[in-house]
Structure 1
Amino acid sequence: MKQTAFYQHRRVLVIGLAKSGFAAAKLLHELGAIVTVNDQKSFEENSKAKQLEQEGIRVICGGHPPELLDEPFDFVVKNPGIPYTNPIVKKALEKGLPVVTEVELAYHISEAPFIGITGSNGKTTTTTLIYEMLQAGGKEPLLAGNIGLVACEVAKKAKADQWLVTELSSFQLAGIREFRPHISVLLNIFDAHLDYHGTKEAYAQAKANIFKNQTKEDYAVVNADDELVMQLAENIQAQKILFSTTKVLEHGAYIKDRMVYWNDEKVIAVSDIVLPGKHNLENILAAISAAKLAGVDNEAIHQVLTTFTGVKHRLQYVDTIDGRRFFNDSKATNILATQKALAAFENDAVILLAGGLDRGNEFDALLPYLRNVKAIILFGQTAPKIARIAKQAGIETIEYVDNVEKAVPVAYRLSQPGDVILLSPACASWDQYKTFEQRGDIFINAVHKLK
C-alpha cells in the first residue's frame, strides 16, 4: 500500500454499512483512524455491526441522526447509495466536512494505476472485457468497483505493475475529490438515476467527474457518437482517445468495411466477434482502446473477442427449450438498455418480459423498437405505462402477471419454435426485488423449470 500516515488518528464517520461501508470501516481502522460507523438498520438485525464492534470499532445503529455530526469528525465516508439529500449528509456538507465514497480511499492506498469505466449502459460488460484483455495480455489486472468487488479491499493488495480495472457508478463519482484514473472510459450518457441526482445535468456532471483530476499524462476514452459525452470531454486535460461505430477515425477504435481498427491496425473482423448485439460493438471498441493504451497486443484482444459470450444478466443467453431461445437482460434497468436489447434481435420474433420500479419515466422511446415484438408480458409498477406504448405499437397480445417467475410460463405458452423470449425490463427491480441480479436469477430458475 501507499503511505497511509494521513489516516492515523483521524476521526472518521462512515455512513451506511453495506459492503463498501463495512470494507471502508475495517480499512480505516487498520490504518489507525478513529472510526464511527452509522447504519439505518437496528443493531440486532445487523451482523456486520456486531462484527465491527468486536474489532473495537464504534457502531451506532437504528437511523442516521444528524446530531451525530455535533462530534468533531475530520471527514465522512458514505455509502454510494445514500443520497446527498439525506439530512446527515446535508449537515456534513454544511459543516464543510469532506464527504467521499470508498473509491477515494482505494485511490489513496493503491500502488497500481486505475482504469476507470463509467457510463449509463455497458459499464460491466466493458469493464469485464478490459479485464479479460489485460489478463490475456499478461498484465495481471485486478477487478474492482461497482461490478461487486469493493475497490478499497482490492486496492490493498494491488502492486505497482498491475492495473486496477474499476467500474464506477455516478453515485461513486459524485463524491470524488482526488481520485484520478490513468485511463478513464466514458461510454454514454442519458437520463438515469434522476431520483438520486435530481436533474440530468447533475447526473451528467457526476459521470464527468471521472475526468476531473486527470492530467495531460492520462488518457480519456470517449464515445465520439454520443454528443453529450463529447461536450463533457471538450475541455478536459487528459489526452482524448475516441471510439466510434459510425465514423472512420484518424486515431482511436472504429469500424470500416466490417473490420475493427485501432488507429490504422486491423484488430478483428466483426464477424469473428461472438458477443451479440450492435450496442456491444461500442463496448468492444471502448475496451480495445483501454487495452491498447495499457499495452495489450492484438493477439490477446482477438483471443478474448472470439471467446467472450457476455456477462450474467446482460443479454445473457440462458437456454433453448423446444426451439425457443431465452435471454436474461435483467440489467436493463432503463429504456436505452432495452432499446439496445431489442435491436440485437431485430430479425427475430420476440416475446418481451418488462416492467418494474416507476421512477417517473415515460416509455414512448420504446415504440420504434417494438416492431418485431409479437407479445409482451408485464409486471411491476410500470406495467400500465408500458402497456400503453405496446398498444400504440399494435401489439395484440399484452399479458399482466404478478412477477418475473409467473411471466416465464406465460411467455412459453404464447411462443412458437424460433421465437426469442427476452427479459429486458427497462426498469429498476426495487419494487419487487432487492437487486437486478435477484430478478435475473429468478428468471433463469423459472426457465429451467420448463424442462
Structure 2
Amino acid sequence: MNKALVFGAGISGLGAKKLLEKNGYKVVLVDDKKAMSSEEGMNTLPGVDLFIKSPGVPYTELVKKAFELNIPVIDEVELAYRYMKKKVKHPRLIAVTGTNGKTTTTTKIKELIQYSGYRCEFAGNIGRSFADLVAEDADLDYIVLELSSYQLENVKEFRPDIAMVINLAPDHLDRYEKAEDYYDTKFNIAVRQEVGDYFITNMNCQESSKRLDKINADILKVSLDGGSGCDLYPKGGWVVYNGKNIICEKKLSLKGRHNLENILFIGAVAEIIGLDEEKLREFLYNTGTLEHRMERFLEVGDTIFINDSKGTNIESSKMAIEAYHGCILICGGVDKKLDLKPLVDAIKSHVSTVYLIGELAEKLEQELVQGGYPEAKIIRAGNLENSVSLIQKTIDVCEKNNILLSPATASFDQFKNFEARGKIFKELVKKYFTAGEKI
C-alpha cells in the first residue's frame, strides 16, 4: 500500500486526505494542533511515497526533510489535478489568480456558466478544496478554481484549460523575500499551458506584461484603457470584444472600476467557451455583490455600514477607501511586512477618522503620524467590538456617514478568516445600531 503524509489538517489537508484514501493510500495526517505532531511526523517520513503540504503551512524542518529525502512534495491542487486527469471524462478547468478580484471573478464565472445551462462548481481558495470536489466524482462540465500564491508553490503538472492573472500588487511579504518572488509564483498558474489552452492577461498590469514571455498558451488581452492589440476593453460606454459592443457599462449591476476589471475577465471566459452573449448580458445586468466585498449591509438614518472584510491587502482596501471618500475606517490585522505608504496616502486623502485594530495597529499609527495624518483622528481601538462601540458613541446617525471595515490585511491575529471577521462585524453593528434597516 502506498503511503502519503498530509501536512496540515485544514480544508485543503482534509480534502487531500479524503482523496488519497479513496485511491488506496495509507495517510499520515500531521498538524501540531489537530493531529500528529511535526516531531512524530519526522519519524514517519521513511517509507512515505508522497508529501502533501497544505498552502498555509510554512516550510518547516519537516518539509525541508521531505525534500532532502527526495520525497515528492506537492500541493493539494496538484494532487486533485492528477486524479481528475486520469478520468476518461473530466471537466474543463478554469483557474483564477491575482492579488485582487479573485473571489468575485471566480464566483461570477461559476454563476454565469451555471446560468448558461452548464454543470459547474468552484473550489480552491474559496468554499471547499479542489481535492474534496473531485473526490466526489460529480458529473461536471467545468470547475472554476480560485488559487492563492501559496496554492501554486508546488504545482508540477497542473495545466488549466483557461488561466488568468487578474492583477499583481505587493502582498504576502511575510512569506516571500521580495515581491518578484510572489509575482513569479502567481504565474505558475500557466507554466504548463500549451498552444490550444488560453491565458487571459491584464495589459494594465505592468508586472503581468513583463512575464508574458513565460506563456505558451494562446493569449487573450484585456485592458481598462483599451490600446493596440487588446481583445476586450471598455469604450464609449460599452465593453468591446474584437470590435463588437457586447456589454453596456451603465446597465452593469456590479459598479466601480475594480468590478469593471473583473467583468473583462468574466467576459473573456464567456467568449472563449462560447457562451451566449445575450445570457452574458442578462447575467451581468442582474447579478448581486458578494458578501464581505464592499458589501453595504445596513443603513441607520443617513449612516451606511460597509463590510469589506475581504480587503486583505493594501491595494484592495485602497479601492474601497477611495470609493467612500470621507468615510470612517476600521483597519488593521496581521502585519504582512508590506510598505504601508500607499495605504497611509489613501487614508490621508479620503478618511475622516480611522479606528485601528489588531497586530498592525501600532505600526500603522506610527506611519500615519509620520505621514502627516492628524493624531486626533487616529483611534487605537484594539478590536472590532471596541471600534463599533466607540463609533456608536461618537457619531450622529442622522448625519451622512459611511462606516467602512476594510482591514488592508489578513485576519489571523484575531479571527479564523476574513469571513469570520466580516460576520462578526455585521453582528456587532446590528447589536450597537439596533434601529437599522438591512439594505
Would the TM-score normalized by the shorter structure come out above 0.5? yes
Match of 2:332 in 1: 355
The answer to whether the aligner puts 1:406 opposite 2:386 as a matched pair is: yes
Letter paired with 2:423? D
Name the structure 2 match of 1:163: 142
Q: Deviations over 1:214-242 (max 9, x none)?
A: 01010001111001111122231101111
Q: Deviation per CA, 1:403-438, whole angstroms, max 9, x where unpaired?
A: 112212323433553221100011211222221111
Secondary structure of 1:447's counterpart equals: helix
1:380-419, aligned counterparts within 5 Å? 380-391=358-369, 392=371, 394-395=373-374, 396-412=376-392, 413-414=394-395, 417-419=399-401
Contact 1:103 1:152 in 2 (8 A): yes
Corresponding residue to 1:239 among 218, 228, 250: 218
2:437 aligns to what? Answer: none
8 Å contact kept, 1:377–1:401: yes
Separation in 2 of the partners of 1:372 and 1:13?
Answer: 49
Q: How far apart in 2 are the matches of 1:69 and 1:89?
A: 13
Give, in whole Å, the separation in 2 of the partners of 1:216 and 1:274.
35
Partner of 1:55: none
Q: Choose which of 136, 140, 159 in structure 1 pairs with 2:119.
A: 140
Structure 1 window deviating more from structure 2 (65-74 vs 292-301): it is: 65-74
CA distance in 2, matches of 1:13, 1:388: 44
Shift in CA distance, 147/380, structure 1 to aligned 2, threshold 3 Å: same
In the TM superposition, residue 178 of structure 1 has moved relative to its aligned partner by: 0.5
Structure 2 unpaired stretches of 5+: 85-89, 435-439
Cα deviation, residue 202, structure 1: 2.1
8 A Cα contact 1:66 1:87, kept in partner = no
* Residues 1:401 and 1:261: Cα distance change in structure 2 (over 3 Å): same
Deviation sequence 1:152-178 (CA, Å, 0-9, x none): 121234567601101011111101011
Cα contact 1:69–1:92 (8 A) shared by 2: no
CA contact (8 A) 1:129 1:287 kept: yes
Cα distance in 2 for partners of 1:268, 1:155 equals 34
Q: Is contact 1:278-1:344 (8 Å) kept? A: no
Partner of residue 27, structure 1: 19
Number of the residue aligned with 1:104: 78
Counterpart residue identity of residue 61, structure 2 = P
Question: Which of 155, 158, 174 pairs up with 2:153?
Answer: 174
2:202 to 223, 228, 243: 223
Partner of 1:428: 410
What is the aligned counterpart of 1:74 among 29, 38, 49? 49
Worse-matched range after superposition: 159-168 or 109-118: 159-168
**Does 2:2 align with 1:10?**
yes
Moved more, 419-428 or 31-40: 31-40
Contact 2:221/2:229 (8 A) holds in 1: no
Query: 1:93 Cα deviation (Å)?
Result: 1.1
2:417 and 2:28 map into 1 onto residues whose CA distance is 28
Q: Secondary structure at the match of 1:283?
A: helix
Q: Is the 8 A contact 1:276 1:344 kept in 2?
A: no
**Coordinate RMSD, CA, aligned:** 1.9
Superposed displacement of residue 315, structure 1: 1.1
Counterpart CA distance in 2 for 1:98 and 1:252 is 40
What residue identity is the alignment partner of 2:3?
A: R
User: What is the CA distance between 1:441 and its match in structure 2?
Assistant: 0.9
Is 1:62 aligned to residue 43 of structure 2?
no
Instruction: Give the equivalent residue in structure 1 for 2:60.
Output: 86
1:189 aligns with 2:168: yes
Question: In structure 2, which of residues 268, 290, 293 is the aligned counterpart of residue 314 of structure 1?
Answer: 293
**Cα offsets for 1:250-297 (capped at 9, x unmatched):** 442211112112222222222111223321211111111122212212
Aligned sequence identity (%): 34
Residue identity in the other structure for 2:412: W
**1:40-75 Cα distance to aligned partner (Å, 9 max, x none):** 12xxxx4xx6xxxxxxxxxxx133446335412222
Q: Against the structure 1 CA distance between its residues 251 and 70, is the aligned structure 2 distance closer, same or farther, given a 3 Å change threshold?
A: closer
| Code of the aligned partner of 2:384 | V
State how 1:359-374 maps to structure 2 within 5 Å.
359-370=336-347, 371-374=349-352
SS in structure 2 at match of 1:271: helix
Count of aligned positions: 423
Is the 2:306–2:404 Cα contact (8 Å) retained in structure 1?
Answer: yes
CA contact (8 A) 1:219 1:238 kept: yes
| Contact map agreement 1:223 1:230 (CA 8 A) in 2 | yes
Q: Are 1:437 and 2:419 an aligned pair?
A: yes
CA deviations over 1:123-153 (Å, ceiling 9, x no partner) = 1011011111111111221111111211112
Q: Distance in 2 between matches of 1:70 and 1:132?
A: 42
2:120/2:140 contact within 8 Å kept: no
**Matched residues in 1 for 2:136 and 2:276: separation?**
26
> In 2, distance between residues paired with 1:215 and 1:291?
20
